[in-house]
Amino acid sequence: MKNYNISIIKGDGIGPEIIDEAIKVLDAVAKVCDFTMSYKEYLMGGIAIDETGVPLPEETVVGVLDSDACLFGAIGGEKWDKLDRSLRPETGLLSFRKQVGVYANLRPAVVYNELLNASTLKPEVIKNCDIMVVRELIGGIYFGEPRGNDGQKAFNTMVYTREEVLRIGKKAFELAMSRDKKLCSVDKANVLDVSQLWREVMSELSKDYPEVELTHIYIDNALMQLVRNPKQFDVIVTGNIFGDILSDAASMVVGSIGLLASASLGDKTAVYEPIHGSAPDITGQGIANPIATIQSAAMMLRHSLGEEKAASLIEKAIKGVLKDGYRTKDISLFDAKEILNTSKMGDIIASYVKK
């Protein structure tokens, strides 16, 4: 029987609670589809600072690179907010992404028609909306040198090389080929040199993908278009900081941030995580929504393990549970039949996983 080695980073806050539910569902789907999963846990974030003194122990990077894929919860919390930047949980996360080389961050914003009322946008504007945001994750202003702050002057540098833009561009064009063949590249080419290069490279690449319709828009207009008429988009590709901003906005098209998954892909490994954070305000109360993490586990089955059937069984189970009116607290205002805690939501999704 096929076995997959999965590295697990539970992290801080609600991280451990939601990861446990995703593992429950993974085990259920493995049984149905005849494969097995082995898990190994690693530390990152605040818990790593507490236990080892640093937010990203070397062992975590080695362990993740050695696994078939990594399932990640969330990191950070008030307790570590006052630490020097080099020691903060977020610095550990950025350094982790860079060291394991996950350059392509896929953030799907797919509306569950069962939960149309969860969005603040009108149901007819979002019904059947299915957008894939592709964010470059290990370059741009997040990592550019030089950078600094001496109290009088502070600066960061936005850099992209042709090579980096080509790499993320190819990924986005390939995704567009597997979907509706529409790719929108988002930049600020009316102001930034780095965006001019970005735009040039995307246009050159489009010659290799003649079936894909490529458009370019500026980041400010992109956000406006996203809330005006999200269904005009299929795949969106953009750089690190624009993607950070745009993907949060896209998540609100869908409604609850507790529903949204992500995949970070590289040449060596891939990391799957919910896009919400560690939610310290609700930690330990058993009310966190595990669906984003369970959906991330489905993406892991699809993109890293080649288990498409298992991935779609999980997605079907999530939809079935929502359709039958089961809700966690964050989505309980909308057509709820029964409100479940985190663990019961995991149980019921696992029980809906059937061939």
- Catalytic residue numbers read 142, 188, 220, 244, 248
Instruction: Give least dist CB 55 to Mg ion, A.
Output: 17
Residue 90 near Mg ion by CB under 5 A:
no
Nearer to ligand IPM, 300 or 353 (CB): 300
| Minimum gap (Å) between residue 244 Cβ and Mg ion | 4
Smallest separation (angstroms) from Mg ion to the CB of 14: 16
Shortest approach of ligand IPM to residue 217 CB, angstroms? 21
Unique residue bearing structure tokens 């690693």: 42
Question: Segment contacting Mg ion (CB under 5 A): 19-27, 122-130, 238-246, 289-297?
Answer: 238-246
Nearest CB to ligand IPM, comparing residues 280 and 286 = 280
Which pairs with CB-CB distance under 8 Å and at least 24 residues apart come from 120-129? 120/252, 120/255, 121/227, 121/230, 121/253, 125/229, 125/230, 125/231, 126/230, 126/231, 126/253, 126/254, 128/231, 129/230, 129/231, 129/253, 129/254
Which residues partner with 187 through β-bridges?
A: 218
34-53 residues in contact with ligand IPM (CB under 6 A) are none
CB of 76 to ligand IPM, least distance (A): 7
174 conformational bin, left if phi > 0, alpha if psi -120 to 50, beta if neither: alpha
Burial class (CB in 10 A: 0-12, 13-18, 19+), 68: middle
E runs forming strands in 221-275: 235-238, 261-265, 270-274
Instruction: Decide whether 90 or 244 has the Cβ nearer to Mg ion.
Output: 244
User: Binders of Mg ion among 242-261, rule CB under 5 A?
Assistant: 244
Does position 174 interact with Mg ion (CB under 5 A)? The reply is no
Q: Per CB under 6 A, does 252 bind ligand IPM?
A: no
Strand partners, 3: 36
Q: Which does 93 bind (CB under 5 to 8 A by kind): ligand IPM, Mg ion, none?
A: ligand IPM
Residue nearest to Mg ion (CB): 244
Instruction: Pick the stretch among 67-75, 109-117, 237-245, 262-270 that binds Mg ion (CB under 5 A).
Output: 237-245
Q: DSSP states of 330-342 as a string?
A: GGTTSS-SEE--H
Q: Does 244 bind ligand IPM (CB under 6 A)?
A: yes
DSSP letter string over 118-183?
A: GSSS-HHHHTT-EEEEEEE-SSGGGT-SS-EE-SS-EE------HHHHHHHHHHHHHHHHTTTSEE
Size of the site for ligand IPM (CB under 6 A): 4
Beta strands in the chain (DSSP E): 2-11, 35-41, 69-74, 104-110, 130-136, 148-149, 154-155, 182-187, 213-218, 235-238, 261-265, 270-274, 326-327, 338-339
Nearest CB to ligand IPM, comparing residues 124 and 281 = 281
Closer residue to Mg ion in complex, CB, 47/246: 246
292 binds ligand IPM (CB under 6 A): no
Q: Which is nearer to ligand IPM, 244 or 335 (CB)?
A: 244
Instruction: Considering only residues 80 through 119, tell me which ones interact with ligand IPM, judged by CB under 6 A.
Output: 90, 93-94
- Residues forming the site for Mg ion (CB under 5 A): 244
Binding residues for ligand IPM, rule: CB under 6 A, are 90, 93-94, 244
